[in-house]
């Protein structure tokens, strides 16, 4: 697939995700946070375009000549985060960049979704310690809440790079360590099960018969109902994250949005208000929604 097309799909996916209204507990077109606003996310989605295009183009080159170890995944994640940091003061898209970059690189060398999934895994598994050092720098720039703050190989440890090099740990290795408590890490080390098996099928089905906004919001809610958000877990504990997931499930189970969209939207707005008032932000779910949207649009062009 053409690298320019891939970059456009990545930008569109980022913009559609944040535009979903009302996407409970997150910034959206009618809800800003004190430290970040809707426009920050739109800008973030735009400015990663050039880096995504370069990453996809590079992947196609190495696929024809060298190997996955030359993919430079970490470099492109870092470059996208640095570009975002030039425009936006706070971390708005680290998780999205970590998901969309390997998806984009894989899309450049894949001809269908099965190949896409396998190649994403190959890119991550065959990353190098140089990629990991770049990823750690990206996390540091984004100042991502809770990512890598465990004692072992923590991004906040000043000796981290030395330890990474001594143990020759690639991106897969370090994410595998945190995969038990971080959904994003688990996603990237287990062939993206939430994106491929939950989010993508739901969004693709819904976008055929409903507005893109409804497809986005219901996909988000579906993911949240099945996968407790680990951003909430890190801030407020696993029980609170499970409680939020149960609330999402109740909305989906109790209201048929197909038959009574007004009632569904009313419950959705109440849920959004509750999460916002209690500072419960399912940010990881938002990232997984963006990757699900990207898969759906990529599939249209395979």
Q: Which residue has the tokens 């809707």?
A: 38
pLDDT of residue 91: 82
Of the candidates 192, 166, 188, the residue with the CA atom closest to the CA atom of residue 177: 188
Please count the residues of the chain: 302
User: What residues contact 166, with CB distance under 8 A and at least 6 apart?
Assistant: none
Domain with CATH 1.10.4200 in the chain: 3-191
Residues 6+ positions from 85 with CB-CB distance below 8 Å: 141, 142
For residue 158, the model assigns a pLDDT of: 59
Q: Give me the residue label for tokens 């196609």.
A: 60
DSSP state for residue 20 in the 8-state scheme = -
> What pTM value is reported for the model?
0.94
pLDDT of residue 111: 95
Burial of 103 (0-12, 13-18, 19+ CB in 10 A): buried
Indicate the SS3 state at residue 108: coil
- In this prediction, residue 144 carries a pLDDT of 58
Q: What's the fold here for domain 3-191?
A: Triphosphoribosyl-dephospho-CoA protein (1.10.4200)
pLDDT value at residue 64: 63
Residue 136, Cα to own-chain centre: how many angstroms? 17
Residue 66 confidence (pLDDT): 59
For residue 157, the model assigns a pLDDT of 58
Mean pLDDT for each consecutive 10-residue tract of the chain (302 residues)? 97 97 93 93 97 96 78 97 93 95 97 97 96 94 59 58 91 94 96 98 95 96 97 95 97 80 88 95 97 98 94
User: What does the alpha-carbon distance between residue 234 and residue 219 come to, in Å, rounded to a whole number?
Assistant: 23
The Cα–Cα gap between 246 and 241 comes to 9
């Amino acid at each position: 697939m053409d690298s320019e097309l891939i970059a456009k799909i990545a930008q569109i996916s980022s913009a559609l995700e944040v535009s979903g209204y009302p996407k409970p507990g997150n910034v959206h077109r009618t809800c800003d946070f004190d430290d970040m606003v809707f426009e920050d996310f739109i800008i973030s989605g735009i400015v990663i375009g050039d880096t995504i295009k370069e990453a996809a183009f590079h992947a196609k080159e190495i696929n024809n000549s060298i190997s996955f170890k030359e993919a430079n995944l970490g470099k492109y994640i870092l470059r996208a985060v640095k570009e975002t940091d030039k425009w936006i003061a706070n971390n708005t898209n680290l998780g999205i960049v970590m998901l969309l970059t390997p998806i984009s690189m894989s899309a450049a060398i894949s001809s269908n979704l099965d190949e896409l999934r396998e190649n994403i895994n190959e890119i991550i598994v065959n990353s190098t310690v140089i990629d990991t050092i770049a990823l750690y720098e990206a996390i540091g720039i984004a100042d991502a809440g809770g990512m890598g703050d465990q004692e072992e190989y923590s991004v906040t440890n000043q000796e981290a790079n030395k330890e990474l090099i001594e143990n020759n740990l690639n991106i897969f290795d370090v994410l595998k360590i945190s995969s038990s408590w971080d959904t994003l890490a688990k996603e990237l080390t287990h062939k993206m099960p939430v994106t491929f098996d939950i989010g993508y099928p739901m969004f693709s089905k819904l976008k055929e018969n409903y507005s893109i906004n409804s497809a986005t919001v219901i996909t988000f809610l579906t993911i949240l109902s099945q996968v407790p958000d680990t951003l909430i877990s890190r801030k407020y504990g696993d029980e609170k994250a499970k409680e939020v997931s149960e609330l999402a499930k109740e909305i989906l189970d109790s209201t048929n949005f197909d038959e009574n969209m007004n009632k569904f939207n009313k419950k959705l707005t109440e849920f959004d208000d509750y999460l916002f008032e209690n500072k419960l932000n399912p940010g990881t779910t938002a990232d997984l929604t963006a990757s699900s949207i990207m898969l759906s649009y990529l599939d249209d062009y395979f």
